Amino acid sequence: MPVEAPNPDATPQPVSSDTPRVSPEVSLWELVFFFGLIGLTSFGGGLTAYIRRLAVTQKGWLTDEEFFSALAIVQILPGARVVGISIYIGNHLRGLLGAALALLSIMMPPFLLVCFLGLLYFHYGENSDSKALLAGVTAVACGLMASMVFEAGQKSIRGVFDVVMIIVTFLLVRLGHMHVQYVILLLAPIAIWWHRPRPEIKGDDLNQKGSTP
Amino acid sequence: MIQTFGHLVALFMILSISAFGGGKVVLPTLQHQAVDKFHWMTNQQFVDLFGISIIDGPSMMVVTLVGLKACLQYGYVIAILGALVATIAMFLPSSILVLIVGRYWDSWKTSPWHESIQRAMMPISTGLILAAAFIIARHSIHTIPTAIMGIIALCLMLFTKLNPVIMIVAAAAISWVFLR
């Protein structure tokens, strides 16, 4: 294992109590194993909490603060959240190589499984047994999708403007057949401007008005 | 064949950096491109593949299956290569973005614009997910039994913490027994 050789600091590891936290030394094999296991058991989502429990609480690879800072980044960027978090942790522990290995190992198990199921589907998809099976699978998929609409709606609606944005987005995509990248280029600047940071004075004004009888 | 790879890469690299709020938001565009523009598959196949893909992995594994189907006409080996190309094109650009933003994060961590962006993007994601749900519903809820299963799944998702994979397996078994 050439991984652990160029690492002189590894031996005199002081279990410091008050010095600022340094990320623990983690071998690349451990990273691959960790994210491979998550990829292997990533059935059905809910993974963010799971990763936090393993990486923060159990392994101590990063602090809770670092984890939530990573989550905040990943949430406003495009892409799957779990993948983003994994890359961030990989990069945090072992730099670019760590990030690349985290991405590879979390993607590999589901990739192989999904490819296998896909080939089965194209081989046997036309017979009546698999059609019956798939009727149930897609019906549940539809129910899951609907539940995601509810969850996303609950998180995003805090005013009339948000409702208008949801409806406009839906109509542009559904009736206008506009592609997602153009929808975002068109609507995101408007929405960001609407939610722009307001100057503090306004808030103070309101507070003063509210407090003076 | 090379042309198909090119189409896959171009399509998924754009979708990768458009997927604000997770992979689900690009489903309407993905369906339109895969079915209506490139004719890689039928609507029914698209929805079937989506159903298969949510069994495991991050929310966007349907990308892998679209790549697989797009190249299936060239044989199984090329098909798996297509799946790989599609998956890389979908996950690499957004991953690089995470690294870049992660590096400069500290300087704008405290910026109030962070909250603005998050609040602005969430309703747009919701609208896109709503549009995706319509597409899935139109090709999955054909009959009263499938409608009932869909509604039960929705309720279980909203009111319990049951793992969706258990629901999928159970629904597959039930519909195999009764709808065969």
Has residue A10 got a pLDDT over 70? no
Look at residue B125 in the predicted model and tell me its pLDDT.
94
CA dist B12 and B90 (Å) reads: 5
A48 token code pair? 């963010």
Q: CB neighbours (10 Å) of residue A125?
A: 17
Which one of B122, B167, B177 makes the best mutation probe of the A interface by having the most chain A beta carbons within 10 Å?
B122
> Do the Cβ atoms of A79 and B168 come within 8 Å?
no
Chain B: residue whose CA lies nearest to A46: B163
Residue B105: closest C-alpha in chain A: A73
Domain range summary for chain A, segments of one domain joined by +: 18-126, 146-206
Token pair belonging to A131: 């059609």
Kindly report the nearest CA distance between residue B120 and chain A, in angstroms.
5
Inspect the interface and report whether the beta carbons of B180 and A129 lie closer than 8 Å: yes
A161 class by beta-carbon count within 10 Å (0-12 exposed, 13-18 middle, 19+ buried): middle
What local confidence, expressed as pLDDT, does residue B147 receive? 94
Tens digit of each residue's pLDDT, chain B (180 residues): 889 999 999 999 999 999 998 888 999 999 999 999 999 999 999 999 999 988 776 678 899 999 999 999 999 999 999 999 999 999 999 999 999 988 887 766 678 888 888 899 999 999 999 999 999 999 999 889 999 999 999 999 999 888 888 888 899 999 999 877
Chain B residues in contact with A197 by the CB 8 A cut-off are 112-113, 115-116
Q: Could you tell me how far CA A99 lies from the centroid of its own chain?
A: 15
Q: Give CA angle at A116 (B166, B28), nearest 5°.
A: 70
Buried/exposed B121-138: b ≥16 CB within 10 Å, e otherwise: bbbbbbbbbbbbbbbbbe
Query: What residue has token string 């006409």?
Result: B73
Mean per-residue pLDDT of chain A: 82
Residue B120 has which token pair? 């602005």
Higher pLDDT: A178 or A199? It is: A178
CA distance A74 to A83: 9
Angle at A190 between CA A188 and CA A195, to 5 degrees: 90
CB contact at 8 A, A97 and A74: no
Instruction: Name the least confident of A11-15, A203-207, B23-27, B136-140.
Output: A11-15
pLDDT at residue A201 is higher than 60:
no
pLDDT of A18 reads: 42
pLDDT at A199 over 90: no
Q: Hey, where are the domains in chain B?
A: 2-140
Q: Is A202 on the interface with B (CB under 8 A)?
A: no
pLDDT of residue A20: 45
How many Cβ atoms sit within 10 Å of the Cβ of residue A40? Answer: 17
With b for 16 or more beta-carbon neighbours within 10 A and e for fewer, the A28-38 pattern comes to beebbebbbeb
Q: Is residue A150 scored above 90 in pLDDT?
A: yes
Closest CA to A44 of B4, B128, B59: B59
Q: Which of A134, A37, A125 is nearest to B54 (CA)?
A: A134
Which pLDDT belongs to residue A9?
A: 41
- pLDDT at site B23: 85
Question: Which residue in B174, B179, B55 sits closest to A128, CA to CA?
Answer: B179
Taking only the tens place, the pLDDT of each residue in A62-100 is: 999 889 888 888 888 998 888 999 999 999 999 999 999
